[in-house]
Amino acid sequence: MHISKEDSELFRQTLKNVKPLKAKHKKKIFFPKIPNKNISIRAAVKELPTINLDDFKQQQVTAEERVFFAKPGLQHKVLKQLTRGNIRPEAMLDLHSHTVSSAKIALEKFLIECQMQKLRCVLIIHGKGQAIIKNAVYNWLNNYSKTLAISSAAPKDGGTGALYLIQRCQTPPV
């Protein structure tokens, strides 16, 4: 595949103000190792406490659409900071190259680990594409009992291809 000079220049112009995230401000999430290569990811997840990411409330969004959801009770200032990207995410999950079913498993594991580490604000990168994963993630998080607020990320963190999540932090029962 050959990239034209115009496309290359357009790409450079688009990204000229983008600054890389500082790694020192991110906590890395380490998932438990799968004990046996023959055990599926789903079986390994069953060893952890479970959460329920339901699909019952379905809302369709487009790839470029900004999304926002907040439960009552959060301060307006916090919501404003979230939508502007002024709250630094404590962890990040990248769901690029996942299918819907593997994205759900990865998100469940990620949320469980975040709960165990009491991480309140996280970044979930779902990508844009045809918005299939974006819709699934948005609906799962809308129905997730610990969700306090969801917002499309600021351009520096992925824009409409990523979501910030503020969640209630409680260690799940083991």
Check whether 171 has a pLDDT greater than 80. Answer: no
Answer with the residue of higher pLDDT: 30 or 131. Answer: 131
Which pLDDT score is estimated for 56? 54
For Cα atoms 21, 23, 29, give the angle at the middle one, nearest 5 degrees.
115
Q: How do 91-94 and 147-152 pair as beta strands?
A: unpaired
Please choose, from the candidates 67, 26, 64, the residue with its C-alpha nearest in 3D space to the C-alpha of residue 163: 67
Check whether 151 has a pLDDT greater than 50. Answer: yes
Which pLDDT score is estimated for 22? 64
Q: What is the CA radius of gyration of the chain?
A: 17
Percentage of the chain exceeding pLDDT 70: 74
- Residue 94 β-bridge partners: 125
Check residue 108 and report its DSSP letter: H
Check whether 58 has a pLDDT greater than 60. Answer: yes
Dihedrals phi, psi of 149, to nearest 5 degrees:
-155, 150
CATH architecture of 66-174: 2-Layer Sandwich (3.30)
Distance of CA 28 to the CA centre of its chain: 14
Q: Where are the domains of the chain?
A: 66-174
The 10 Å Cβ neighbour count of residue 125 is 17
